[in-house]
A = this chain, B = another copy of it.
Amino acid sequence: MPLWQIHHPENAYSASDKQAFSEAITAIYTDLVHIPAFYVVVIFDEVKTGDMFVGAKQRENFVRLNIDQMARTLPGRVLREFWVHHIDSVIKPWVQDRNFDWEFTIDEPPADLWSLQGFIPPPFESVGEARWIEENKASAYTQAEQLPINVMMAPGTRESL
């Protein structure tokens, strides 16, 4: 997670294209939101000629990307617009620059119904997540590792109103 499913025409991408495309996608998340690289899954799905229609017209140059992001939801209009435009700028070499038309949508499934190697991933920005990023693999984590990296409980625990 995130999961990118890329529905593309026959022979749209070579093996090295797919490698480079999935690297660019992974970098969106590791650079911008600092999640473990192994959270990012990309599946290329070649749609057979004759099986894709846009506006009831059969198309052979259209790429449809379906993105599930469950680790974090994007808060607020400004950030959500930025995110959409940022993704468009990243994927440009594999869609617009090759004269493909394209469309993507992002869905936000619940983050608590998610399992990775048998573990429910640690909370966002927790000590455990930081360790997962460093080790780049899933493993058991303690109760203490569920705490945020920066714990800030003041003033609640110190003062009464």
Task: State whether the Cβ of A118 lies closer than 8 Å to any Cβ in chain B.
Answer: yes
The digit string for A1-19, where 1 denotes a CB below 8 A from any CB of B, is: 1010001000000010011
Task: State whether the Cβ of A143 lies closer than 8 Å to any Cβ in chain B.
Answer: no
- A51 x B40 contact (CB < 8 A): no
Q: Tell me which of B41, B77, B106 contacts A64 (CB under 8 A).
A: B41
- A109 x B113 contact (CB < 8 A): no
Task: State whether the Cβ of A156 lies closer than 8 Å to any Cβ in chain B.
Answer: no
Q: Chain A residues in contact with chain B, CB under 8 A?
A: 1, 3, 7, 15, 18-19, 22-23, 25-27, 36-48, 50-56, 58, 62, 64, 66, 68, 70, 74, 77, 80-81, 83-85, 87-88, 92, 96, 101-110, 112-118, 120, 136
Can you list 12 contacts pairing A with B, beta carbon distance less than 8 Å? A1-B103, A3-B105, A18-B50, A18-B51, A22-B53, A26-B53, A37-B56, A41-B103, A42-B52, A45-B47, A66-B68, A84-B120
